[in-house]
Structure 1
Amino acid sequence: MTGSPLLALRGISKRFGAVQALKDVELEVHPGEVVALLGDNGAGKSTLVRVIAGVAPADTGAIEWEGRPVQIRTPQVAQHLGIATVYQNLALCDGLDVAENLFLGRERRSPGALGRLFRHMDKSSMRVEARRQLDALGIRVPDMRTPVATLSAGQRQTVAISRALLGKPKAVLLDEPTAALGKQQAGHVLDLVDKLREQGIGVILISHNLGDVKAVADRAAVLRLGYNNGFFDVPTTSQDRIVSSITGISSSP
């Protein structure tokens, strides 16, 4: 990729007690680029995402956002910069409908005294905007009043991603978005990742599914035991070579 990265991590280290979770990790993501973050369980992938999201700030190292140094000490700082995270557990509320889940934490109040004094939600406006958002992403949910508990796993995943996009982020972190999905549902989610790239959003995709990585990622960064163990151009690199880096059979600069 040419030009300055949207997000750059320089020498990121993180320790939890006696456990060195990350050591001198480097990573770059450009606008409109999908970077797959790969590694076995315990490699440090989720910790790195938590560092970027402000949930577990790095002990040492530097983070650059749009070419300038920043400190991401809280999730609020990450969101303010334009970084959205969709965790594997999705954090959806089954008892709320689609629109209410999209606007969870960003609820719109009715105009006038009804909203100001009685905190009445403007559900009609929220449903209109939710429909516009889902239609723009090609997500098929017939009714915004549908309880999330009744949706398929694939639909729930797309609702969670759509909620993250309401804040108009510039970077989105996706933690195993297809792990619990069938082939067809996973395909819908991967189509959505393609749409994010087309919109110029930088995407970090954590996945154990190398088929998914081959389908959508531009580059792959492999972590092993908390260290960088290779950076790859996905379209031109064999799956066997990437697997060798993940398992530690080989290493790359």
Structure 2
Amino acid sequence: MDPLPAGTGDERTVLVRLDPDLRWLLPPRLRGAGERVLGFDPDATVGHLVQTAGVPLTEVGDLVLDGAPAAPDARTRSGSVIEVHPVLRPQPVPPGGFLLDVGLGALARRLRLLGLDAAWSNAADDPELVVQTVAEDRVLLTQDRRLLMRRALPQGALVRGSDPDDQLTDVLDRFVPVLAPLTRCTACNGALVPVAKAEVTAQLEPGTRRSFDDFSRCTRCGRVYWRGAHARRIDALVAQAGVAGGRPRDGIGG
């Protein structure tokens, strides 16, 4: 179904009207009005039309069709108006945690520093991400709208912001997860467990051996951690997490 320009005079259309929080997903020329006119198709569902307008259903909360609440599988009529409201925040984190696409590696490391289960690979393609999301009961974080529109994807979130710190703010605002700093390996996402200094002495630089006594080791890759290695970064991220709901969220293009 091809979008139609506003003011075509064609009565066989459907109007998709977006909440102000979602208007950044429209082409720039349409963001002021916050509406998109689409051609009417009796076989198209409300959900299909919303996604045709550029909004993945993962970002949608309540839908209103011609003044009444509607489900994504509802059908429209010629001249219908669909009102689209954003997903309510906060959302629960699924049992499997987060899965990030290849473009969000810096965000994955920040989430891991805060102790959050954040799976990431720089080689996973879209079909693999969908399979992993289902198999491990994770929520897929991405900035690729088309990926979120795949029918087989059960849960996902469109991450806002171009800077990793802004992305982190958005994710923490949307999901408000319980933080456990320095309990995850930033390199591989494995769990960290306390380890006696004597067991890791050979892996430490002389200055580290002299200055620190408490260490953790990754159960997956064996990397060693201590408080001094990430103290300032962790403190900054925890502080950022505390104000995540109060900072503005910037949109992304695409």
Instruction: Quickly name the TM-score band, shorter chain normalised.
Output: under 0.3
Structure with higher strand content: 1
Q: Which has the larger radius of gyration?
A: 2
Bigger relative contact order, structure 1 or 2 (CA pairs below 8 A, ≥6 apart): 1
* TM-score (ref. length: structure 2): 0.24
Structure 1-normalised TM-score?
Answer: 0.24
